[in-house]
């Protein structure tokens, strides 16, 4: 029984050690993306909105047909 507890403790420790750097990296990546979006010109923002709306239209049509 003690062996199983040791294995469980080691597994949880490794999961926590892996999750912390992953969370830090995702926060940095999100911050970098937000800064990039904040510095975009209005023309680039309009292009991005059109790019995002393009896949939405067919989905809206599917929903309206159903």
Cα separation of 59 and 47, whole Å?
20
| Structure-block tokens of residue 66 | 């159903």
| Number of structural domains in the chain | 1
Q: Which one, of 45, 29, 26, lies nearest residue 37 by Cα?
A: 45
Cα separation of 60 and 33, whole Å?
28
Look at the pTM and tell me if it is higher than 0.85.
Answer: no
Q: 1-58, pLDDT tens digit by residue?
A: 668 898 999 999 999 888 888 888 887 888 887 777 777 777 777 777 766 767 777 7
Question: Structural domain of residue 49, as residue ranges?
Answer: 2-65
CB atoms within 10 A of CB 18: 10
Is residue 48 within 8 Å of residue 40, measured between CB atoms? yes
């Amino acid at each position: 029984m003690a062996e199983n507890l040791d294995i469980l403790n080691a597994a949880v420790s490794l999961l926590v050690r892996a999750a912390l750097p992953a969370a830090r990296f995702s926060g940095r990546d999100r911050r970098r993306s937000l800064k990039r979006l904040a510095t975009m010109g209005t023309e680039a923002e309009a292009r991005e909105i059109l790019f995002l709306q393009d896949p939405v239209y067919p989905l809206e049509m599917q929903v309206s047909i159903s």
